[in-house]
């Protein structure tokens, strides 16, 4: 049996291409549905394209569609837990959590298994930070640090105690008189 042949039920045989006697098949494709991560996005948030990278890779950000109050908590962050940081090295942000007395690495593998929180970008400075990432009962949550206006991008940075837990020292950069921090490199997480 060849996988390169089409079946014609009217002729009762497999054919190379469309049937010359009965014509082409009417092909119906599946409807495209959003990924799990996109489906979990709360109704008052939206995704926007931030940039296109090589290989048609989209970098998305999460934006408010309506005002969001300070102290609003989102989560938990959904991803894969691993005891080994090297299993998480796919260029995506990795969090650490303490669960059942063990330190795990948490990352969002892809849109089919993660939730919308995987699209939230890290803040580059205090001014653009709208969320703080923190651990609670072995899971990671984001909580707003100020009131957020519509059309504002949600960006996070780590709570001070969470940074200590992850044993990360922040990188400080001066940029246009703002104090900037960058996400911890994965190499730091492996130590």
The 10s digit of each residue's pLDDT in 46-77 is 999 998 887 777 889 999 999 999 999 999 99
Task: Write out the two tokens for 111.
Answer: 């849109």
11: alpha, beta or left? (left if phi > 0; alpha if psi -120 to 50): alpha
Task: Write out the two tokens for 50.
Answer: 């931030």
Model pLDDT, residue 163: 86
Q: Which is more confidently placed, 141 or 51?
A: 141
Model pLDDT, residue 191: 34
Read off φ and ψ for residue 154, nearest 5 degrees: -85, 125
Whether residues 153 and 134 fall in one domain: yes
Model pLDDT, residue 80: 86
How many domains is the chain built from?
2
**What integer best gives the mean pLDDT of the chain?**
83
Cα–Cα distance between 46 and 112 in angstroms, integer? 18
Whether residues 44 and 115 fall in one domain: yes
Q: Which is more confidently placed, 177 or 24?
A: 24
DSSP state of 56: G
Whether residues 106 and 158 fall in one domain: yes
Looking at the predicted structure, is the pLDDT value of residue 144 above 50? yes
Task: Write out the two tokens for 137.
Answer: 């009962």
Cα–Cα distance between 184 and 54 in angstroms, integer? 23
Q: Which is more confidently placed, 155 or 56?
A: 155
Q: Which is more confidently placed, 46 or 80?
A: 46
Whether residues 42 and 28 fall in one domain: no
Rounded to a whole number of angstroms, the distance between the first and last alpha carbons of the chain is: 54
Whether residues 175 and 87 fall in one domain: yes
Whether residues 1 and 54 fall in one domain: no
Whether residues 146 and 131 fall in one domain: yes
Query: 5 lies in which domain range?
Result: 1-32
Whether residues 44 and 20 fall in one domain: no
Whether residues 76 and 114 fall in one domain: yes
């Amino acid at each position: 049996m060849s996988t390169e042949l089409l079946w014609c039920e009217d002729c009762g045989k497999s054919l190379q291409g469309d049937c010359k006697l009965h014509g082409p098949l009417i092909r119906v494709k599946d409807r495209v549905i959003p990924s799990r991560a996109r489906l979990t996005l709360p109704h008052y948030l939206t995704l926007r394209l931030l940039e296109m990278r090589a290989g048609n890779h989209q970098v998305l950000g999460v934006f408010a569609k309506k005002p969001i109050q300070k102290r609003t908590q989102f989560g938990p962050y959904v991803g894969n837990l691993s005891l080994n940081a090297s299993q998480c090295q796919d260029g995506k942000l990795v969090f650490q959590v303490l669960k059942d007395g063990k330190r795990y690495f948490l990352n969002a593998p892809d849109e089919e298994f993660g939730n919308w929180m995987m699209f939230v970008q890290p803040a580059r400075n205090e001014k653009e930070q709208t969320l703080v990432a923190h651990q609670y009962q072995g899971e990671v949550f984001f909580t707003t640090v100020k009131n957020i206006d519509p059309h504002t991008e949600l960006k996070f940075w780590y709570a001070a105690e969470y940074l200590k837990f992850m044993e990360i020292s922040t990188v400080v950069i001066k940029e246009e008189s703002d104090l900037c921090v960058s996400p911890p490199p994965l190499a730091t997480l492996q130590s």
